[in-house]
């Protein structure tokens, strides 16, 4: 199957909706992501990369999420419930390489109030489905090798650990990061999809609420 670039269109799930990134989303994204705990694990290059104010965050967001021929950035919003439509993060299907049928899900950050909820598994379900439905054969996911929480979350999705890319990219503080590289290939997708759907089914139909903190 030949890979083809998906159209920039909303992806709607049970708990979240992914909408194509817009500059108009930046103030709400700043409120969701402009927090030390979001950058602590490596998002945006780590703690030193946290923008000091809205203007600096706007520059960061445009660098990270501006649409490109090889990238589909999305704003993550809650679907249903009292917080319907609230912006709670951003993510991207990037590094779209049509000849090699490969893509990369990353650049992902969420409001800490939705950590441990249905948000991340459903975001990955929607993005992986988008990629594999458009002929991609391999989707990469990666995390700072130091970020145990993100590495565990990627493994829980059903991704396979491929190894460490040593001295892979600089952190915002000037140190060099090793990246833990994972992937899901098209042959594994049916089992991964079933696992993600089972995780979401287990949560029932209760919408994600911002005022309820997830378990630690």
Distances in Å between the Cα of 147 and the Cα atoms of 150, 153, 204 are 6, 10, 29
pLDDT on residue 41: 85
How far is residue 128's CA from residue 69's CA, in Å, rounded to a whole number?
Answer: 19
Largest CA distance in the chain: 45
pLDDT on residue 212: 54
Q: Which residues of the chain have pLDDT under 50?
A: 213-216
pLDDT on residue 162: 97
CB neighbourhood size of 95 (10 A): 14
Q: Does the model's pTM come out above 0.85?
A: yes
Sign of the torsion formed by the C-alpha atoms of 109, 113, 116 and 118: negative
- Fold topology of 11-202: Aminopeptidase (3.40.630)
How far is residue 170's CA from residue 205's CA, in Å, rounded to a whole number?
Answer: 41
pLDDT on residue 211: 78
The pLDDT tens digits for 9-35 are 999 999 999 999 999 999 999 999 999
pLDDT on residue 154: 95
pLDDT on residue 215: 38
pLDDT on residue 205: 87
Q: Name the residue ranges covered by the structural domains of the chain.
A: 11-202
CB 29 within 8 A of CB 75: yes
């Amino acid at each position: 199957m030949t890979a083809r670039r998906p159209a920039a269109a909303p992806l709607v799930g049970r708990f979240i909706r992914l909408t194509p990134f817009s500059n108009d989303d930046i103030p709400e994204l700043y409120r969701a992501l402009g927090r030390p705990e979001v950058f602590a694990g490596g998002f945006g290059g780590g703690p030193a990369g946290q923008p000091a104010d809205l203007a600096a965050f706007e520059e960061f967001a445009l660098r990270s999420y501006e649409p490109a021929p090889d990238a589909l950035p999305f704003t993550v919003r809650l679907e249903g419930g009292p917080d319907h439509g609230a912006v709670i993060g951003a993510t991207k299907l990037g590094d779209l390489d049509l000849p090699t049928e490969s893509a990369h899900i990353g650049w992902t950050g969420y409001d800490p109030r939705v950590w441990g909820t249905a948000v991340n598994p459903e975001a990955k379900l929607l993005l992986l489905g988008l990629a594999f439905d458009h002929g991609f054969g391999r989707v990469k996911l990666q995390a700072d090798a130091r970020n145990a929480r993100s590495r565990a979350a990627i493994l829980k999705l059903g991704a396979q650990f491929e190894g460490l890319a040593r001295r892979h990219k600089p952190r915002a503080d000037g140190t060099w990061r090793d990246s833990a590289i994972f992937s899901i290939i098209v042959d594994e997708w049916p089992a991964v999809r079933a696992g993600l759907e089972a995780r979401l089914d287990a949560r029932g139909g209760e919408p994600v609420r911002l005022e309820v903190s997830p378990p630690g």
